[in-house]
């Protein structure tokens, strides 16, 4: 099985960095923490993960300050050259703020922080991230966010639908789509047109062991191994 070199970005306020290290190390990958002021990635990087947390305390707007960190210039160049990037929760917010993914993450429609296990429906699996699943699979992954309400304009959304950029939707245990936080069309995860930059609000790194409620995150993160 392929072993990857995974670089995990760390900003002031990041709090899921070591959870992410644990998740990828559990799968047998090599991991490196990269501080946000660095101006380069480890030379052998094969996947960059922007983990969850509260970068810069979510001041101004989630991810809005982190996007100006020196490492983000490097990340943009890495992504534009075809490098694989995964943004989880606050990482997803940072990637949208940086323009690496379309749309924006707004305050949850009921203005509450949501923290629980949540069922998701796999919408598109012809990509590196979800290739271990089938379309229509129902999985159970924790969510923990206050600003997870995904928004994008209708024209862009239509293009995303046609290009199979919608990856995951919130649903109930039977697969019926549901409103969790106000996200347009119940979207929980997306990718860019080139399918090398991925973002989702749920936390697969917290779903690595069934004893903790779900191991579905393990299958998600395994996908990069088979890319």
* Gap between the Cα atoms of 16 and 53, Å rounded: 6
Whether 205 is a known active-site residue: answer: yes
89, 119, 145, 171: the catalytic one is: 89
β-strand partners of 31: 6
Domain map of the chain by residue range? 5-226
Q: Identify the CA nearest to 43 among candidates 77, 7, 93, 96.
A: 7
Please tell me the predicted confidence (pLDDT) of residue 2. 82
Q: Report whether CATH 3.30.360.10 matches the domain 5-226.
A: no
16, 36, 145, 205: the catalytic one is: 205
The tens-digit pLDDT sequence of the chain (227 residues) is 689 999 999 999 999 999 999 999 999 999 999 999 999 999 999 999 999 999 999 988 899 999 999 999 999 999 999 999 999 999 999 999 999 999 999 999 999 999 999 999 999 999 999 999 999 999 999 999 999 999 999 999 999 999 999 999 999 999 999 999 999 999 999 999 999 999 999 999 999 999 989 999 999 999 998 66
3-state secondary structure of 115: strand
16, 186, 203, 218: the catalytic one is: 203
Please tell me the predicted confidence (pLDDT) of residue 76. 98
3-state DSSP of the chain = CCCCEEEEEECCCECCHHHHHHHHHHCCCEEEEEECCCCCCCCCCCEEEECCECHHHHCCCCCCCHHHCHHHHHHHHHHHCCCEEEEECHHHHHHHHCCCCCCEEECCCCCCCEEEEEEEEECCCCCCCCCCCCCCCEEEEEEEECCCEEECCHHHHHHHHHCCCEEEEEECCCCCECCCCCCHHHEEEEECCCCCEEEECCCHHHCCEHHHCECHHHHHHHHHHHC
Per the listing, tokens 């306020």 go with: 13
Q: Residues 85, 199: contact at Cβ < 8 Å?
A: no
Please tell me the predicted confidence (pLDDT) of residue 1. 63
Whether 119 is a known active-site residue: answer: no
């Amino acid at each position: 099985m392929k072993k990857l070199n995974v670089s995990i970005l760390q900003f002031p306020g990041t709090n899921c960095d070591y959870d992410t290290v644990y998740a990828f190390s559990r799968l047998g990958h090599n991991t490196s923490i990269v501080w946000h002021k660095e101006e380069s990635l480890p030379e052998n990087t094969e996947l960059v993960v922007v983990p969850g947390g509260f970068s810069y305390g979510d001041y101004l707007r989630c991810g809005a300050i982190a996007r100006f960190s020196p490492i983000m210039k490097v990340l943009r160049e890495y992504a534009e050259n075809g490098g694989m990037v995964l943004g989880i929760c606050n990482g997803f917010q940072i990637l949208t703020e940086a323009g690496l993914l379309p749309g924006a993450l707004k305050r949850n429609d009921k203005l509450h922080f949501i923290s629980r296990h949540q069922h998701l429906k796999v919408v598109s699996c012809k990509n590196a991230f979800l290739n271990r699943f089938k379309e229509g699979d129902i999985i159970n992954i924790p969510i923990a966010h206050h600003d997870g309400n995904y928004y994008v304009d209708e024209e862009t959304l239509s293009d995303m639908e046609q290009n199979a950029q919608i990856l995951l939707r919130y649903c109930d245990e039977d697969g019926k789509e549901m409103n969790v936080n106000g996200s347009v069309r119940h979207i929980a995860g997306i990718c860019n047109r080139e399918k090398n930059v991925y973002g989702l609000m749920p936390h697969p790194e917290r779903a690595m062991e069934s004893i903790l409620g779900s191991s579905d995150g393990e299958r998600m993160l395994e996908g990069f191994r088979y890319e």
